[in-house]
C-alpha cells in the first residue's frame, strides 16, 4: 500500500508476526525434535515456550494481512499488468539485495550448515518453487534461504486472485471469491475422500493449505470497505470452516491455528470498530519494524542460525549469559539492518520502478500524464 493509505495497526501486526517467526527460528526450528541436530548454543532452551513453539504461525498472520492488502491493491489497479508491476516493484528489489547479501554472508561465514549455490538465485529471484527447477534441470535447487517458501505461496495467490478480480470486476469480486473458494474446498475434500492420487498437485497449484488465511484477509477487507457486507462475513466463516475441515498446515490437532486466527479477527475487527483497543500496534518503534518486516523476514533465518551455530561451536554451554543474550542481540542487529535497507533501498527502488511506469505515457503521449503523482494507484 502507498504511504498515504498505510494503516499503522497493520504495520504493528506485521511486526508481531515477524517477531513470532524469528522466535520460532531461533529457539525451535533448528533443534530436536523439529530438527535432527541442534544448532543453538543454548540447546533446547525456550523450545517449549508456547510463544516460540507456535511462532511459525506468524507466517499465517502474514497471509491474513496479505489477503487484506492485496484486495485493497486490486481495487486501486486499472489492469492486471498494473497490479503485477506494483507487486514487482514492491517485492523484487528487496529480494534481490537480500538474496545477494545472504549468499555472500553465508559463504563467507565459517560455517557449513547453509551453503547456497549460485543456481539457488533462480527460484529466489523468480519467486517460483525450487521443485519446478529441480524437475527441469534434474539437479537439486533450493532458495537462498528456506524462509522464501512463503513468498512462492504468496505469488501463486497473487496470480489466482488477480485473475478472478480482472475477470469479474470489483462489483462481483467478493462473491466470486466466496464461490470459487467454497467450490475448491469441497472439491479438495471429495478428492481426498476418494484417495485421489494427484491430491498434492491441487495443493501445489492452488496453495490450499494457505488459502483460508488469505481468504480471511479478503473477508476483512470486504468488511473494511463496507461494514454491512454480508459477503464479508461469508468469507470469514468460510475461512474458519476451511481451516477446521482441511486440517492442513502446521500444528494440526492443536488449538494454536485457531488462536492465531482469533488474534487476527480481534485485531482487524478492533481496527474497524474499536481502534483504541489496538492503537498500541501503531506505536512508532513497533510499526517501524513492521514497515521493514519484508527484508527482516528474508534475512533472518539462515544468517541468524548460522551465527548461532558458530557461537555453539566456539563457546559451547560454558557461557550461559552469552547464550541468553545472543538471540535478542541478533534480532536487534537484523532489525537495524532491515530498517536501513527499507530506507535506502526498498522504498527508493519501489518509487523508482513505479515512477518508470507512470512517466512512460508522458513520454509517448505528451505532458498530460506527467502531472500524475508517482504514488497514484
- Looking at every residue in the chain, the average pLDDT score rounds to 90
Give the HSE-up count for residue 224: Cα atoms under 13 Å, Cβ half-sphere.
23
pTM greater than the 0.85 cutoff: yes
CA dist., res. 33 & res. 19, Å (int): 22
The reported pLDDT for the residue numbered 356 is 85
- Spatial distance between the Cα atoms of 216 and 68, rounded to a whole number of angstroms: 8
* pLDDT one-digit tens code per residue, 20-71: 999 999 999 999 999 999 999 988 888 999 999 999 999 999 999 999 999 9
Q: Is the pLDDT of residue 370 over 80?
A: no
Q: pLDDT per residue over 169-204, tens digit each?
A: 999 999 999 999 999 999 999 999 998 888 999 999
Considering all CA atoms of the chain, what is the largest pairwise distance in Å, rounded to the nearest integer? Answer: 71
pLDDT class of 2 with cuts at 50, 70, 90 = very low
Q: Write the pLDDT tens digit of every residue in 294-350.
A: 999 999 999 999 999 999 988 876 666 677 789 999 999 999 999 999 999 999 999
Any residues with CB less than 8 A from the CB of 356 and at least 6 apart, and which? none
Give the up-direction half-sphere exposure of residue 240: CA atoms within 13 A in the CB hemisphere: 16
Element (H, E) at 352: helix 347-365
What is the pLDDT, as a whole number, of residue 365? 44
Q: What backbone phi and psi angles, to 5 degrees, belong to 226?
A: -150, 105
Give the pLDDT confidence score for residue 253 in this predicted structure. 86
Over residues 83-105, the pLDDT tens digits come to 999 999 999 999 999 999 999 99
Q: What are the backbone angles phi and psi of residue 170, rounded to the nearest 5°? A: -65, -35
Judge whether 120 and 143 are in contact, CB under 8 Å: yes
pLDDT of residue 188: 95
Cα–Cα distance list, 259 to 74, 226, 262, 279 (Å): 29, 26, 5, 21
Q: What is the pLDDT of residue 369?
A: 35
Model confidence band, residue 376 (pLDDT cutoffs 50, 70, 90): very low
Tell me the pLDDT tens digit for each residue of 154-176. Answer: 999 999 999 999 999 999 999 99
DSSP per-residue string spanning 288-345: HHHHTHHHHHHHHHHHHHHHHHHHHHHHGGG-HHHHHHHHHHHHHHHHHHHHHHIIII
- Residues 366, 372, 375, 377, Cα dihedral to 10°: -90
Is the model's pLDDT at 123 over the cut of 80? yes
pLDDT reported for residue 275: 87
The reported pLDDT for the residue numbered 360 is 55
Amino acid at each position: 500500500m502507498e504511504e498515504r493509505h498505510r494503516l499503522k495497526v497493520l504495520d504493528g501486526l506485521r511486526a508481531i508476526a515477524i517477531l513470532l517467526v524469528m522466535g520460532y527460528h531461533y529457539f525451535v526450528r533448528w533443534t530436536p525434535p523439529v530438527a535432527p541436530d541442534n544448532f543453538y548454543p543454548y540447546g533446547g532452551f525456550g523450545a517449549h515456550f508456547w510463544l516460540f513453539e507456535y511462532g511459525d504461525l506468524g507466517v499465517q498472520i502474514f497471509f491474513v494481512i496479505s489477503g487484506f492488502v492485496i484486495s485493497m491493491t486490486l481495487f486501486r489497479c486499472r489492469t492486471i499488468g498494473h497490479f503485477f508491476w506494483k507487486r514487482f516493484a514492491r517485492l523484487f528489489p528487496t529480494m534481490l539485495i537480500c538474496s545477494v547479501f545472504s549468499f555472500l554472508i553465508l559463504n563467507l561465514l565459517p560455517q557449513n550448515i547453509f551453503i547456497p549455490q549460485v543456481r539457488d538465485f533462480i527460484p529466489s529471484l523468480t519467486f517460483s518453487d525450487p521443485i519446478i527447477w529441480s524437475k527441469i534441470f534434474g539437479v537439486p535447487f533450493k532458495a537462498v534461504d528456506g524462509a522464501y517458501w512463503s513468498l512462492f505461496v504468496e505469488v501463486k495467490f497473487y496470480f489466482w486472485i488477480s485473475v478472478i478480480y480482472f475477470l469479474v470486476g470489483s462489483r462481483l469480486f467478493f462473491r466470486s471469491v466466496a464461490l470459487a473458494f467454497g467450490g475448491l474446498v469441497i472439491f479438495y475434500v471429495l478428492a481426498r475422500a476418494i484417495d485421489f492420487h494427484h491430491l498434492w498437485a491441487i495443493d501445489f497449484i492452488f496453495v490450499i493449505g494457505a488459502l483460508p488465511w488469505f481468504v480471511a484477509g479478503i473477508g476483512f477487507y470486504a468488511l473494511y470497505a463496507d461494514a454491512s457486507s454480508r459477503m464479508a462475513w461469508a468469507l470469514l466463516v468460510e475461512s474458519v470452516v476451511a481451516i477446521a475441515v482441511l486440517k492442513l498446515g502446521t500444528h494440526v490437532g492443536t488449538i494454536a491455528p485457531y488462536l492465531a486466527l482469533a488474534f487476527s479477527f480481534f485485531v482487524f475487527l478492533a481496527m474497524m470498530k474499536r481502534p483504541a483497543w489496538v492503537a498500541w500496534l501503531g506505536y512508532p518503534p513497533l510499526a517501524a519494524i513492521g514497515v521493514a518486516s519484508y527484508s527482516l523476514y528474508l534475512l533472518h533465518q539462515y544468517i541468524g542460525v548460522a551465527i548461532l551455530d558458530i557461537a555453539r561451536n566456539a563457546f559451547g554451554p560454558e557461557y550461559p549469559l552469552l547464550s541468553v543474550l545472543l538471540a535478542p542481540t541478533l534480532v536487534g542487529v537484523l532489525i537495524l539492518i532491515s530498517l536501513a535497507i527499507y530506507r535506502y533501498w526498498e522504498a527508493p527502488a519501489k518509487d523508482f520502478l513505479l515512477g518508470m511506469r507512470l512517466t512512460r505515457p508522458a513520454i509517448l503521449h505528451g505532458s498530460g500524464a506527467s502531472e500524475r503523482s508517482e504514488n497514484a494507484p
